[in-house]
Structure 1
Amino acid sequence: MRAPLDVAIIGAGVAGLAAATLLTRAGHRVVVHERFETSRPLGSGLMQPTGLAALDRLGLRGSIEALGARIGRLHGITERGGTIFDLLYADLAPEFYAIGIHRAALHGELWAAFARSGAALETGRLIVDIEARADGRSSLQDEDGRSGPGFDLVIDASGARSRFRPLVSQAAAQDFSYGAVWAAVPDIGIADGQLAQRYVAARIMIGYLPVGRALPGGPPLAALFWSLKPGDYPQWRDGFEPWREQIVKLWPALAPVVAGLTSPDDLTLATYVHYTARKPFKGALALIGDSAHATSPQLGQGANNGLLDALALADALASCTDVPSALARYAQVRRAHVRFYQLASRVMTPFFQSDSGTLALVRDLTFDRAAKSPYLRRHMLHTLAGLKTGILTHRLPSDLAGDSAVGFDQAANAAI
């Protein structure tokens, strides 16, 4: 697109900051609107090979890898020691791995890139509506009823609880029955280089993920999480001491970590919703990241897919001559990848977070056996690494982090 656009981005999370940086670098006039005066990055996760390829395009891969912890293995067992998962990224390709990262570290690097780009920022203003103007542009209205200037394009990156989805689709977000409590804890080295999990049926899932440092020079950290129904959170708080005994009994190596958790306030409750926009735009409003496709973190793709959305939208705006065709292009580029992971997350989550004893038994009896088949193991690894675009199809990280409709190297794709 030759003429620079006036672009409003709602939300200064992973997807919003990435989009703002990319579009400002491309010459557009960008204003990010963030409801909080100061950023509040919470949580942690995995940067998959796809997310690392996206960070490479942003020029941030090196700094993220320096802060995070390299992860080469997903290892999950039952309370009786039976293997559910034992997957190595390197079995897919020697150069493949993930990075465990604290959200503060990821946000900090994206924020620094955003600040260097020169994009504008408005904080402390809650946007509640988007108004169409007579001139074809859109204005943002805040909770005090004030409207600002017009924009050629509005990008909703406000997250999983976005209030702007009804402007695009009548589909409703659905709450998952399970969430989790989690904490950033000192990394005591019990799961170096791996995401380790323990399961009791599908009712209990404990996870330990090394995530590196939240800040340069900080201590090595890990993410500890425990599955929990949000409705059971008050009961969990009241039974905090028995819970500490329970988690150590299930995973004795966690004892030093649990000893440092002295109050339920040391952990944070996370809740999850499932939402997929059939078409992530309408008019000059585009949804990216969790605003467009929220789900549980079971497959570890959230931040990665937000970065891929930002890149796809920026590429579409660069290659198309007008906003409508660019948004259609963005939706087309992301459709297959998003559709697969939304479906896979919806199908897989109950095997690990639900009250179903049947699903847990099926998981215990079949998942590890399936992984012993080279063909099925490869599909599992493609799914883990974020590469799948369909039941039988996948793409290279570099393809997914670029314009996925051009430059497709079938031979290279077949090699993995």
Structure 2
Amino acid sequence: MNKPRTLIVGAGIAGLALAKALLDRGVPVDVVERRPEGGGTAGAGLYLPANAVRALRHLGVDGSVAGVARPVERQRLQDHRGRPLTEFAVSRIWGEVGPCLAVTRGELHGALLAAVGDDVIRRHVEVGTVYEDGTVTFTDGDRRRYDLVVGADGIDSTVRRSLFGGPAPRFLGQLCWRFVAQGDAAAGLTDWTARLGGGGRTFLTVRLGGDRVYCYADVNSADPAAPAGDWRGLFADFGGPVPGLLDQGAGAHFAALRESEHTVWVRGRVVLVGDAAHAFSPSMAQGGAMALEDAEVLADVLDAEADVPAALAAFQARRAGRVGWVVGQNHRRDRARNLPVPLRDLTLRLLGERMFRSNHAPLLARP
């Protein structure tokens, strides 16, 4: 394999997964992270669909992740009162691809960090300017040249802004809150359950290891700012376990959901991966999966092609269609949830499993 001296900007999931893949191939890697601690957003959980778990297996970290994760065997959609709309085993969606898992973002990040080792990461280091030839200036005045520079620095990527330009990620018209609940409020909750209300409101629970459950709530909004008052009042009419879970949601992490409109991820010796390249709606739960697949594919194309710009062009060509499919299916699913409530509920009762299988069909193949 060609062994290009590589800089990875960002020590999140995408950056660490790529570092693991490259280090395993003997590629010299520097990872820089502007934060003192990289990784997980507080209160953030992850549903890892089978293609994400397959990528972890390819990276050799599936065992350590499975040790802290909980299997997800079924998906359920209900109305806001808990009345069933559709339910199916995830194996009917993913077949032989593998299991689906639930884990906190911090646990996944910790498993990747343990696999890479903290000694390859330089923290409190921020990139200033990136050039097509692999030259990078840092905000402390340092300047270095690399054979390959990878922007894995998230939706507000400095690498993308410095070199690629283009439109900033656009607001999707959705606000979300996420937190982890535990104790009696989580008792009896299993697997993955989405409860759908009117006005584009969703309250999702995903069972984690121990007595914990990841809670994710979102609502349509024309304004990206957090609404005045206690957000939990937006879900006051939801039944079942939701009121008890909301009691633990006072400190939930808030975000206005955004989507990348930029579709060029390669310039010379520089490439974007993960959210820096393609942030999108969480409707398909494919953000982490696409980041992990990026790491797998980028390492593979560098294995196959000694010329870095040619390898990066192959990466863009190989990933564009798959990522584009996910973006399109996200939009389709978001439109479906915004149908008039009686039509939405009838559609899910009649076609729910079929829709999920169609959404994911191309993702059963290796990336």
Same structural fold, with TM-score higher than 0.5 when normalized by the shorter chain: yes
Name the residue aligned to 2:146.
151
Name the residue aligned to 2:60.
59
Q: How do residues 267-306 of structure 1 correspond to structure 2 at under 5 angstroms?
A: 267-306=252-291
More displaced stretch, 95-104 vs 320-329: 95-104
Secondary structure of 1:270's aligned partner: strand
Q: How do residues 237-276 of structure 1 correspond to structure 2 at under 5 angstroms?
A: 237=230, 242=233, 246-247=235-236, 249-261=237-249, 264=250, 266-276=251-261
In the TM superposition, what is the alpha-carbon distance from 1:157 to its structure 2 partner? 0.5
Counterpart pick for 1:103 among 98, 102, 105: 105
Render the CA deviation track for 1:265-301: whole Å, top value 9, x for unaligned. Answer: x211022211154332111110111111110111111
Name the residue aligned to 1:9.
8
Q: How do residues 202-241 of structure 1 correspond to structure 2 at under 5 angstroms?
A: 202-212=199-209, 219-228=210-219, 229=221, 231=224, 233-237=226-230
The whole-number CA distance in structure 2 between the counterparts of 1:231 and 1:57 is 38
The whole-number CA distance in structure 2 between the counterparts of 1:169 and 1:53 is 33
8 Å CA contact 1:190–1:253 kept in 2: the answer is no
In the TM superposition, what is the alpha-carbon distance from 1:31 to its structure 2 partner? 0.6
The whole-number CA distance in structure 2 between the counterparts of 1:85 and 1:11 is 39
8 Å CA contact 1:11–1:32 kept in 2: the answer is yes
8 Å CA contact 2:301–2:315 kept in 1: the answer is yes
Name the residue aligned to 1:128.
128
Secondary structure of 1:51's aligned partner: helix
How many equivalent residue pairs? Answer: 359
In the TM superposition, what is the alpha-carbon distance from 1:94 to its structure 2 partner? 6.6
Q: Which runs of 5+ in 2 are unaligned?
A: none
Secondary structure of 2:241's aligned partner: helix
The whole-number CA distance in structure 2 between the counterparts of 1:278 and 1:94 is 31
TM-score, length of structure 1 as denominator length? 0.79
Question: Percent same amino acid at aligned positions?
Answer: 21
Q: How do residues 249-398 of structure 1 correspond to structure 2 at under 5 angstroms?
A: 249-261=237-249, 264=250, 266-352=251-337, 358=339, 360-371=341-352, 377=354, 380-381=356-357, 383=359, 386-388=360-362, 395-396=364-365
Secondary structure of 2:173's aligned partner: coil
Aligned CA distance change for structure 1 residues 21 and 387 (closer, same or farther; 3 Å): farther
The whole-number CA distance in structure 2 between the counterparts of 1:304 and 1:346 is 18
TM-score, length of structure 2 as denominator length? 0.89
More displaced stretch, 334-343 vs 221-230: 221-230
Aligned CA distance change for structure 1 residues 8 and 368 (closer, same or farther; 3 Å): same
Name the residue aligned to 1:405.
none
Aligned CA distance change for structure 1 residues 371 and 258 (closer, same or farther; 3 Å): closer
Secondary structure of 1:272's aligned partner: strand
The one-letter amino acid paired with 1:148 is R
8 Å CA contact 1:9–1:30 kept in 2: the answer is yes
8 Å CA contact 2:134–2:148 kept in 1: the answer is yes
In the TM superposition, what is the alpha-carbon distance from 1:88 to its structure 2 partner? 1.8
In the TM superposition, what is the alpha-carbon distance from 1:347 to its structure 2 partner? 2.9
Aligned CA distance change for structure 1 residues 180 and 321 (closer, same or farther; 3 Å): same
Aligned CA distance change for structure 1 residues 327 and 106 (closer, same or farther; 3 Å): same
8 Å CA contact 2:54–2:97 kept in 1: the answer is no
Q: How do residues 65-144 of structure 1 correspond to structure 2 at under 5 angstroms?
A: 65-79=66-80, 81=82, 83-92=84-93, 93=95, 96-115=98-117, 120-132=120-132, 137-144=133-140
RMSD, aligned CA = 2.4
8 Å CA contact 2:53–2:98 kept in 1: the answer is no
Q: Which runs of 5+ in 1 are unaligned?
A: 213-218, 389-393, 401-416
The one-letter amino acid paired with 1:275 is S
In the TM superposition, what is the alpha-carbon distance from 1:44 to its structure 2 partner? 1.3
The one-letter amino acid paired with 1:200 is G
Render the CA deviation track for 1:281-334: whole Å, top value 9, x for unaligned. Answer: 111110111111110111111111100001100000001121011111111221
